[in-house]
Structure 1
Amino acid sequence: MTPEVVIDIFSDAIYLVMIMVAIIITPSLVVGLIVSTFQAATQINEQTLTFLPRLIITLFTLIVAGPWLMRELIDYTQRLITSIPLVIG
């Protein structure tokens, strides 16, 4: 196994993780920003007010994007497993 192959496998894995995390976290960040702006405008300083909307949006995102995320993860795993003979030999 050459260093180039290891770097390619690792970079593909890091790219997949970054895409998956970005898809899950970005809606939560947007909702958190909106709720924080609302709290600043109304001067409500309740910390638990931001938790529930962010939790609901994150769960909704997982429900909507979950099948696509799993398909991407399965495709990467299949590519990784099928490339084992090329990596070894």
Structure 2
Amino acid sequence: MDATQVFTVGQQGLYMLLLVSAPILLSVLAIGLLVSIFQAATQIHEATLSFVPKVVGAVVVLAIAGPWMLTTLVEYLQRTLQAIPSAVG
């Protein structure tokens, strides 16, 4: 296994991490932005007002996109593990 293969596997792993985490991160970002605009408009500065909607949004997105995320990760892991013999030998 040479350096090019190592960098390719690392790049694929980082891409998979970005792909799988994107739905949760984008939803939490959007909810945080909306809550911040609401807090700025109403002058309400409550910490739980920012935290609770983000957690609820993350759980909802995880419930909706969770099966896809798990399937994607399992397929990536299977491809990676099946490629080990050809990379070593």
Q: Which TM class, normalised by the smaller chain length?
A: over 0.9
Letter in 2 for 1:65: A
The residue that corresponds to 1:26 in the other structure is 26
Secondary structure at 2:44 match in 1: coil
Q: What CA RMSD, in Å, does the superposition of the two structures yield over aligned residues?
A: 0.8
Is 1:51 the counterpart of 2:57? The answer is no
Equivalent pair of 2:24/2:62 in contact (CA under 8 Å):
yes
**Which consecutive aligned stretches of 4+ in structure 1 deviate over 6 angstroms post-superposition?**
none
Q: Give the Cα–Cα distance (whole angstroms) in 2 for the partners of residues 51 and 85 of structure 1.
A: 46
Q: Give the Cα–Cα distance (whole angstroms) in 2 for the partners of residues 31 and 80 of structure 1.
A: 35
The residue that corresponds to 2:67 in the other structure is 67
Pairs aligned (count): 89
Q: Give the Cα–Cα distance (whole angstroms) in 1 for the partners of residues 29 and 45 of structure 2.
A: 18
List runs of 5+ in structure 2 lacking aligned partners. none
TM-score scaled by length of structure 2: 0.96
Is 1:85 the counterpart of 2:85? The answer is yes
List runs of 5+ in structure 1 lacking aligned partners. none
Identity %: 38
